[in-house]
Amino acid sequence: MFPRDRAPQRHMEAYQQMPDPQPSHRQDVDAYWAEKIAEVMRDQFGIKPKVNTYSYRTPYPHAYDLIPLPNRYKVPDFTKFSGQDDMSTMEHVNRFIIQCGEAANRDELRVRLFSSSLSGSAFTWFISLLPN
């Protein structure tokens, strides 16, 4: 076996030989590196992260978050849809588009803002969607 003082070098050699698959989404990159850091801490130092945090990932492409809102646009206080009241989904979507105003002209902005119009089980459904 390796002498005790050679253990960190042994771990570094093992990690350097492993191929690193590159994640396809920016949000996946953050999760990937967080997992790699936790793995090194566990393997090399025997330290386990205290809490596994849940990282929210949008179900739409990261590029949508980079699209600027219209000049001087103020995000409205959207009417919330929970799926529990008597408002239909069609009524909610139409109201949402009207409340978006100028931002409704771009599909990407409508998709990005839509979660702000949800609450309760409707919001839970939205955040459970897989990244696209």
Domain ranges of the chain: 4-45, 62-127
How far is Cα 98 from Cα 84, in angstroms, rounded to an integer? Answer: 22
The CB density around residue 82, as the number of other CB atoms within 10 Å, is: 14
- The predicted-structure confidence for 53-108, as pLDDT tens digits, reads as follows 566 778 889 899 999 999 999 999 999 999 898 999 999 999 999 999 999 999 99
108 Cβ neighbours under 8 A, 6+ residues apart: 60, 63, 64, 67
- Tally the C-alpha atoms within 13 A of residue 69's C-alpha that lie toward its C-beta: 13
Give the tokens for residue 109: 């902005």
- What is the structure's pLDDT at 17? 56
What is the tens place of the pLDDT at every residue in 7-25? 556 555 655 555 555 555 6
User: What is the CA angle 86-91-124, rounded to 5?
Assistant: 70
Q: Which two tokens stand for residue 105?
A: 């002209």
Structure tokens at 46: 């025997």
Q: What contacts 48, CB < 8 A, 6 or more positions away? A: 38, 41, 42
